[in-house]
């Protein structure tokens, strides 16, 4: 580019005019080249990103939905795992006898307890007073009516649900506040084991 002082009477010569046309075309071509190069650069970047994503699918992702830095203990076993397994006593699955009569009254109290889930492995949880976890078995005959009373002896609201009960869940299975109780009835229509 050239600049001229205002006092100079300037008349463009033929060589200047053709030079200006040359630069105009050159600038346009340069602009076009930049666009084309930019376009191919974009394609190459996208391609590189795709191949990187395909090459590293196992890269550990940070789960931002978890507030605490939680680690998985899957596959982690203590050195005395065999000893612990041998010391484990299986749960006695013997059913209690079926109560007599058409109406079976069941009472359970929820409680915050420390439960030993494996020999030497203790876990703070809510469980059932007098039982821990799992809770008591309710064994009835088809056609009997269960009258359930649940008392919340723990610190946070809790509910209980019976998977075989044909009952309005928003009524019977609603939260019971600490220190409160709920009572509901259902008739056992469906034979089976429900957990």
List of residues contacting Cu ion (CB under 5 A): 161
Distances (CA, A) of 195 to 7, 62, 111, 135, 190: 101, 35, 19, 10, 13
In angstroms, what is the minimal distance from the CB of 186 to Cu ion? 14
**Residue nearer to Cu ion on the CB measure, 135 or 178:** 135
**Residue nearer to Cu ion on the CB measure, 104 or 165:** 165
**Residue nearer to Cu ion on the CB measure, 53 or 161:** 161
**Residue nearer to Cu ion on the CB measure, 16 or 161:** 161
In angstroms, what is the minimal distance from the CB of 167 to Cu ion? 13
- Which is nearest to 80 in space by CA: 123, 124, 119, 122? 119
In angstroms, what is the minimal distance from the CB of 172 to Cu ion? 12
In angstroms, what is the minimal distance from the CB of 94 to Cu ion? 23
Strand 145-152's sheet: what is its strand order? Answer: 121-128, 103-118, 145-152, 181-187
List, as own/partner pairs, every contact residues 68-73 make where C-beta atoms lie below 8 angstroms and the sequence separation is at least 24, other chains included.
Answer: none
In angstroms, what is the minimal distance from the CB of 163 to Cu ion? 6
Question: Which residue number has the CB closest to Cu ion?
Answer: 161
CB 164 within 8 A of CB 149: no
Distances (CA, A) of 123 to 126, 127, 129, 160: 10, 11, 15, 21
**Residue nearer to Cu ion on the CB measure, 47 or 161:** 161
């Amino acid at each position: 580019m050239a600049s001229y002082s205002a006092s100079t009477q300037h008349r463009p010569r033929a060589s200047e005019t053709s030079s200006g046309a040359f630069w105009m075309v050159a600038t346009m071509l340069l602009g076009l080249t930049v666009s084309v190069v930019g376009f191919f650069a974009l394609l190459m970047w996208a391609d590189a990103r795709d191949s990187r994503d395909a090459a590293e699918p196992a890269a550990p992702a940070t789960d931002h939905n978890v507030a605490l830095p939680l680690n998985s203990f899957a596959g982690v076993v203590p050195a005395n795992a065999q000893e612990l397994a041998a010391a484990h006593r299986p749960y006695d699955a013997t059913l209690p006898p079926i109560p007599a009569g058409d109406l079976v009254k069941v009472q359970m109290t929820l409680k915050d307890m420390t439960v030993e889930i494996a020999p030497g492995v203790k876990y703070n949880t809510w469980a059932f007073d007098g039982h821990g976890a799992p809770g008591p078995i309710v064994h009835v005959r088809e056609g009997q009516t269960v009258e359930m009373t649940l008392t919340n002896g723990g610190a946070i609201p809790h509910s209980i649900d019976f998977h075989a009960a044909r009952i309005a869940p928003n009524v019977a299975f609603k939260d019971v506040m600490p220190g409160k109780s709920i009572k509901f009835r259902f008739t056992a229509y469906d034979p089976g084991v429900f957990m």
